[in-house]
Amino acid sequence: MLSVQTSHDWSAVSATVTVGAVAEVWTCAATSNSAVDALEDLCAWANDAARGWFPAALFQWGWARDSSTGGALLKIKNSGGPFSWAPNLAAIQRLGVVAGGPAVELVGASDASGTWAPEPAGLLSLRLGRVYHDKAPGQGSGVGAVRPGLSGLAPWAGECAPIVGPVDARRWPEVSQVAAHPRRAWLRLAGVSGSDYVVPPIGAHWARFALGPVRRSRVGGHLWRLDFGLAGEAV
């Protein structure tokens, strides 16, 4: 899944969250300008000791692919028990999660702004081409050099190049239109192995990159390939 930081005013996003008899209002931080950032902000707020329901609640979030649009349907879950969610219009427009509850989990009715979740599971792979010598000091040594995969600093930038169907190929132009500039995005990557990368290498994980050029080409039949140029956040 890919979630771009968008040009929308995310500080307008708010919702009343009710757990038991306690109701409190969450307002998204202005800097949390993507679906991933906003849900991380929500869970950090909901699990903070300052909340009236602490420590009875444990909020987490997730997502599922919307097969009709190629976007991501967000999920909000409270492992501690049922909760109610009363969002304002901006929250519904950005996150897609309408009013609901009491329930342990709520799922978005529409895809979240700036999200792209291609088949089969919405996980993306990062291709890292690097020349790197891990030897003792000497002329062929890599000691003191930038590790392979440290995007933005290593000799080559990483690249994500999924092959997708018609629904996902159509989805990307819609996502790119709402992206903020400079373009940055969270990618949900499949697990990688080897030496340390930008993020812990074991298992599926989120990583944030600066988005470079995106090229779309037809592979054949109803399949397209999208090549995302990726660089470090300093770019």
Which tens digits make up the pLDDT trace of 100-122?
999 999 999 999 999 999 886 55
- Does residue 232 surpass a pLDDT of 80? no
Say which range, 29-43, 53-67, 127-141, 165-179, has the weakest mean pLDDT: 127-141
Mean pLDDT of the chain: 83
- pLDDT for the residue numbered 131: 40
132 backbone dihedrals φ, ψ, rounded to 5°:
-155, 130
How much is the average pLDDT of 162-181?
A: 92
**How far is it, in rounded angstroms, from Cα 105 to Cα 114?**
22
How much is the average pLDDT of 153-166?
A: 72
How much is the average pLDDT of 13-29?
A: 98
What is the 8-class DSSP label of residue 108?
-
- pLDDT for the residue numbered 214: 87
How much is the average pLDDT of 60-78?
A: 95
For CA atoms 31, 37, 40, 42, the dihedral sign is: positive
- Total-model pTM: 0.81
How much is the average pLDDT of 49-59?
A: 97
Structure tokens belonging to residue 230? 């990726």
- pLDDT for the residue numbered 211: 86
Nearest to 53 by CA among 92, 102, 13: 102
- pLDDT for the residue numbered 201: 44
Give the tens place of pLDDT for each residue, 119-145.
865 556 555 544 444 445 555 544 444
Collapsing DSSP to helix, strand or coil, 113 comes out as coil
